[in-house]
Amino acid sequence: MLFFKAQTSLRTVAACSLQKILIARGGGSPRRRCITPGFEVSVDAQTKPKRQHRIEKRIVSTLDPLHLQPSDFTDLSNIARPTLTLPGVERPGLKPKIILHYYGGIDIPFPNNTRGFFYYHRPQGLSFMASGLRFRVTPGTDASLANFDAGEDCLLPSGAPWQIPLLRIARFLTMKSLQHYLLQCGAITQSQLDACRQQFTGYRPASYYTLYTLDQPFPVSFSAHAIHLCLVTPDKIFRIKIARPFSDNRKHLDRSPYGGSALAQLQVSTRPEHTGRNVLVMKILKIIEPVTCTIPGYDGYVPQPEEGSLLSHRSAPGHRIRSQLWIHDLDKDLSSSAGLRALRGVSLLQTSGFQDI
């Protein structure tokens, strides 16, 4: 019996030693990486689909969309927590690797068929603060650069583009290597980087959606109590809160009767009753998650949001009473009006770079 226990213990020690040797050599590590001299894409083995047996090595030579090479083609399909190792940033105290997340948490993988090119997005006619790192999903599975213009940017479940904005790049220590790379290649300047840090003090990216034009689409949740927007103008940054846009404000409810999500857009009203006034309305451009009523037996006091229609904020009791549109009067001296007035003259029709949103 003692001999059997000793033999078992020796086998356990041997197994542990072998595991350590395999890990040291990279064969037994739970984290698999592909090391390349340029950008590096990696993924934890446990978050990788079982049908994927290896990670293809891809060297990304640039983030400039005008100088991309076929070798820059990258496949992020079903990968959680890919990392980028940036070329030319190896120096003491600076980690060349940054970790990317799709959304909502580190273990949510990029969607299937996310194949294409990383690039630095700089929309024309807008503030440099509108720029950021994006991923262009191209048609097909080949690395043809001709597919770049035919592709579309990787989207979040909300319908907005996946992007690491310059705001985040400028403020977060985890983005130091990307800061250095963009400065080194001339994509941004030090003064622009400093301006982002100064202007966005106290900014909370997770709770605010940033608008650079008045009619830029933005994601909304119909169950939310408020919409938080950060308005970027050439001279100033405004943070506004649109309170209770989807709520039934009657005392016995005081909540939103609907769930679901959509892409919305603020528009200057052209309705006859608003002639001569600066009034904004909100249009539901596209339903992302189907609209559902969350209150059993609801009487329809607040009409259900519909794709392609203007948002109705509330209506008088009774199903046949005409709905009242949600409006925001820019002529009134409200705390949120100054920023919206500042964006009043900046339109997507006058710029490029956000048409794909």
User: What is residue 144's three-state secondary structure?
Assistant: coil
**Residue 163 tokens, joined:** 């992007």
Note the pLDDT tens digit of each residue in 292-332.
Answer: 999 999 998 899 999 999 998 765 554 455 568 899 998 88
Residue 143 or residue 285, greater confidence: 285
Greatest mean pLDDT among 11-25, 144-158, 278-292, 331-345 lies in: 278-292
Q: What span, in angstroms and rounded, lies between the C-alpha atoms of 266 and 216? A: 8
DSSP codes joined into one string, 27-48? SS-SEEE---SS---EEEGGGS
Residue 354 or residue 202, greater confidence: 202
Q: What span, in angstroms and rounded, lies between the C-alpha atoms of 12 and 15? A: 5
pLDDT at 239: 87
pLDDT at 286: 95
Q: What span, in angstroms and rounded, lies between the C-alpha atoms of 159 and 351? A: 20
Q: What is the DSSP letter of 178?
A: H
Whether residue 209 is predicted with pLDDT greater than 70 in this model: the reply is yes
Mean pLDDT computed over every residue of the chain: 77
Cβ–Cβ under 8 Å, residues 57 and 73: no
**Per-residue confidence at 203, pLDDT binned at 50, 70, 90?**
low
Contacts of 351 (CB under 8 A, 6+ apart): 123, 124, 125, 126, 213
Whole-prediction pTM? 0.73
Note the pLDDT tens digit of each residue in 244-301.
Answer: 999 998 888 889 999 999 999 999 999 999 999 989 999 999 999 999 999 999 998 8
Whether residue 130 is predicted with pLDDT greater than 50 in this model: the reply is yes
pLDDT at 4: 39
Cβ–Cβ under 8 Å, residues 81 and 100: yes
pLDDT at 347: 55
User: What is residue 167's three-state secondary structure?
Assistant: helix
Q: Look at residues 186, 180, 166 and name the one whose alpha carbon lies nearest to residue 88.
A: 180
User: What is residue 175's three-state secondary structure?
Assistant: helix
pLDDT at 322: 53
Q: Which amino acid is at 353?
A: G
The whole-angstrom distance between residue 180's C-alpha and the CA centroid of its chain comes to: 22
pLDDT at 315: 54
Calculate mean pLDDT across residues 212-216: 88
CA distance from start to end of the chain? 71
